[in-house]
Chain A
Amino acid sequence: MFHRRSLATLFATLLVGLLVGSALAQVELRMTWYDDGAEGVVMREILDRFEAANPDVKVVMDTVPYSSGILESLPLQLASGQGPDIARVTNLGGLSQYYLDLRPYLSDPGYWDENFGPFLDWMRPAGSSAIPGFMTQLTVTGPFINATLFEQAGIPVPEGPTSWVEWAAVTRQVAAATGTPFAMVMDRTGHRLAGPAISQGAQFLDADGRPAIDDPGMRYMMQLMIDWHADGTMNPDVWIGSAGSYAAGNEFFVNAQVVLYMSGSWQVGQFTNLIGDAFDWVVVPNPCGPAACTGMPGGAGVVAIADTDHPAEVARVMEFIAQEENLAEFYGRSLFIPGHLGLASSGVDFATDSPLAAAALTAFSQQVPLLHPTAYAMQAYPFNFVVFNAIRDRLTQVYVGELTLDQALERIQADIDEALREAGAN
């Protein structure tokens, strides 16, 4: 039972750990990262080039699971001062109190203001001029359709401004004609629902910038979702079948089990691999409502953490990655929409030979100017996660009959108010 070798290994490792820990000559920076695909590999190559040019700094990437690592553990680690030097995060505004302002350390802050300006507002309190980091990707939500199914059904793809009700009707026809089990599917998150709701006139925030959920636009969109789940237009597996967290509908689209999939630009990379030549997938413009034809912007950013012991070195790393040619490589090889205004206008050379992927990325880029101010305001709102999660979980309770729509709207508002009160945001 008591094995000599394992004990020896234990002590040896601890000893080595101590020695290594105390004998550091160069500055070691830690970057907490998560991977959706192979973008970590590209980032590592960029960091390798940085290290080659800056032998006094070493950057270690610690790749963690997104939900339990980035969303749940990282805030606790930051709150207790045990965080990394750099991190890739999506709750951009919610964690802004922990970010380092890079401005005093940057050689050319103007480059950052110019190219990252609108996105910097997502990472800093209103009115601040801090530069906490840059976007690793900009995302835009929007619907994908299976064009091959339309062709098989002999039904033309709707052109010009359309509404969600029209899309629901036409995709139901296509599904019926082709024997496809479901007309539509949407990722399980309030973020995906927000674009359609804003198009219908949902305000989300009142005049004082506080969340106010119950309005006709929001009710209209929620009622549509409830109806679609009741009559089988929407695949129920995603919203009802997985509780408690985000769930994606991509498997159903990849397997041609739905005609329309409401998701976003980040799917392009994996669709290229997973669908291959099985069918034609096309991005269509976001359907319109009385207020707009908008999706939601979003994305992930790399930010510097204020607790770091080496702010100057952190700034050097950030400045290196943020150079135009490095970001061009990163966005291009990861098939991410650039979160860099210069690159957005000059265009990124996406590393794909799939015409479908190239067309999809172009279509998403064209959606950016159509995004509604409310969509930007929600993305910049520091507690947007709170709002989106409350909508997601309470709306699901309506689908399964635990709540009525009225009760759900009341609960959503109460959940948000309680969370804001606890967070001291009142």
Chain B
Amino acid sequence: MAATPNAVQRLNALAGDGVQRVYALAMNALGLIMEPAQKLLGVRRMAYLFVLPNLLVFAIFILFPMLLNVYYAMTEGGNLYPQDRPFVGTANFERLYTCTDYGDPNTCLEDRFWRAARNTGVFVFFQVSGMVLVSLITSMVLNRKIVARGFFRSVYFYPVLLSPVVVALIWKWILQRDGVLNAILVGVGLDPINFMLDGTWAMTWVILVSIWAHMGFYTLILLAGLQSIPAELYDAGAIDGTSTTQAFRHITLPLLMPTMMVVLVLSLIRAVQMFDEVFVLTGGGPGSATMLMVQYIYMTGFGTQNPRFGMAAAASVTLGAVLLVATLLQLRVGRGSERHLA
């Protein structure tokens, strides 16, 4: 994993020159379009030209499909093309929200949707809080005066590179009835546990595995936050006789808050979008104990021999609306912390 610093420096020196030349060449080439455009449009309107490529791709491949999705949500049937699909208004939404008792998914027409909603809530809450806690502890350990910090930093980051399918496969083998973990449990004199047959255990492992896979990224962000806290603050605290726990509470935590917000927002986004890892690890089971929202939508509209595009679209529109509100709320909070940072 760790290339020697010398090798890296030599590589960087060698590559650096070449990369810069290619970079300048490519950018000058693009400038042949952009610079005449500036003469034509003026400085002010250049902003539109800068936004244009991204906006085009965004509009065609994200925004338009999303609007199409809203239309799908108001149609039914097995036909793929929107013009062939009978319009049914809000029928899909009505079906989706029909429950006699919202506390009990079994009383809902689309029971799996409500189970998935509840599971997603549990998953997001525990996964995000666990992620923040584990990343915080790890970043603090890495921030101590330790040997081979670069090596340890890479160790915690490495699983971030693995594909979700690989992550799930690895852990499936570790957790199965006669997997490595049970072999260890038996080895230390405990009874083996069949983790994948119990809803609570399965959800616990789904959360732990996703923390395992992504914590490296957040650890690095928090580590940087910690390293930016001036040492003098702690020295001043030491003279005043503040205890170390007090120093953590009154110096480290408040100054780390803005970084924590970044970690919170990013990990929240990832947690809500979680799908492949959980799907390959448990399939949403046992029963439907770990079926998350994105999986419900995927299984309803795509991963089945009888796709119900309309119902899947109605569920995703619902998810989108909830997420939009959550994002806007976060932004409000985030703006507060940005001011704090400045």
Contact = CB atoms under 8 A, between A and B. Distances in A.
Are A and B in direct contact (Cβ within 8 Å)?
yes
Interface of A: 1-4, 7, 68, 71-72, 75-76, 79-80, 91, 94, 236-237, 240-245, 383, 385-386, 389, 396-397, 399-403, 407, 411, 414, 418-419, 422-424
Contacts of B305: 71, 75, 91, 94, 385-386, 389
B279 A3 contact: no
Interface in B266-315: 279, 282-291, 295, 299, 302-308, 310-311
A422 B287 contact: no
A236 B23 CA distance: 58
B197 A241 contact: yes
Given A2-B19, A240-B286, A400-B289, A422 B80 contact: no
B287 A237 contact: no
A252 to B, nearest CB: 9
A94 B81 CA distance: 19
Contact of B77 (A75, A397, A422): A422
B253 to A, nearest CB: 36
Contacts of B291: 243-244
Contacts, number: 111
A94 B299 CA distance: 18
B78 interface: yes
The size bracket of the interface on B is 35 or more
B199 interface: yes
Nearest to B303: A72
A244 B287 contact: no
Contacts of B299: 244
Contacts of A75: 305, 307
A79 to B, nearest CB: 4
Instruction: Please provide the 8 A-B residue pairs with the shortest distance between their CB atoms, ordered closest to farther.
Output: A243-B285, A244-B283, A400-B287, A243-B283, A419-B306, A385-B305, A79-B80, A241-B196
Contact of A243 (B18, B80, B109, B287): B287
Contacts of A237: 176-177, 194, 196-197
Interface of B: 18-19, 22-23, 26, 76-81, 106, 109, 111, 115, 176-177, 194, 196-197, 199, 279, 282-291, 295, 299, 302-308, 310-311
B19 A241 contact: no
B287 A80 contact: no
A396 B286 contact: yes
B119 to A, nearest CB: 12
A2 B288 CA distance: 46
Nearest to B15: A3
Nearest to B305: A385
Contact of A423 (B109, B288, B295, B306): B306
Nearest to B295: A244
B18 A4 contact: yes
A241 B176 contact: yes
Given A1-B19, A4-B18, A75-B305, A242 B283 contact: yes
